[in-house]
């Protein structure tokens, strides 16, 4: 006898879990802008957002209006304005 899949179970399997500053968040949408990701994490809108890129390359800056197609496991971090250089 197989277990029935409830809408709640299906929904939890389809949720996209991303990390911002090592904190997990479930994205409300599969595509979000940099500003929306910062807001989801409760971070200041003016901060710079970066996507961690595996390997030796540079991490990718994400603009506030840039849409990002999210995948579970993506890692982002923010840098306050004025801390470069």
**How does pLDDT run across 17-58, given as a tens digit for each residue?**
999 999 999 999 999 999 999 999 999 999 999 999 999 989
pTM, two decimal places: 0.81
Q: 23 exposed, middle or buried (CB, 10 Å; 0-12, 13-18, 19+)?
A: exposed
pLDDT above 70 (res 8): no
Q: Is 72 left (phi over 0), alpha (psi -120 to 50) or beta?
A: beta
Q: What is the pLDDT of residue 84?
A: 58
What would the CATH number be for the domain defined by 7-79? Answer: 3.10.20
CA distance 37 to 28: 10
Q: What is the pLDDT of residue 14?
A: 74
Task: Please give the pLDDT value at position 82.
Answer: 80
- Per-chain mean pLDDT for the chain: 87
pLDDT at residue 6 tops 70: no
């Amino acid at each position: 006898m197989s277990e029935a899949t409830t809408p709640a179970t299906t929904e939890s399997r389809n949720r996209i879990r991303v990390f911002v500053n090592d904190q997990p968040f479930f994205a409300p949408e599969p595509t979000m802008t940099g500003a929306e990701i910062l807001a989801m994490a409760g971070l200041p809108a003016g901060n710079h957002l970066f996507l961690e890129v595996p390997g030796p390359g540079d991490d990718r800056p994400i603009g506030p209006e840039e849409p990002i197609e999210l995948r579970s496991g993506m890692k982002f971090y923010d840098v306050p304005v004025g801390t470069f250089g």
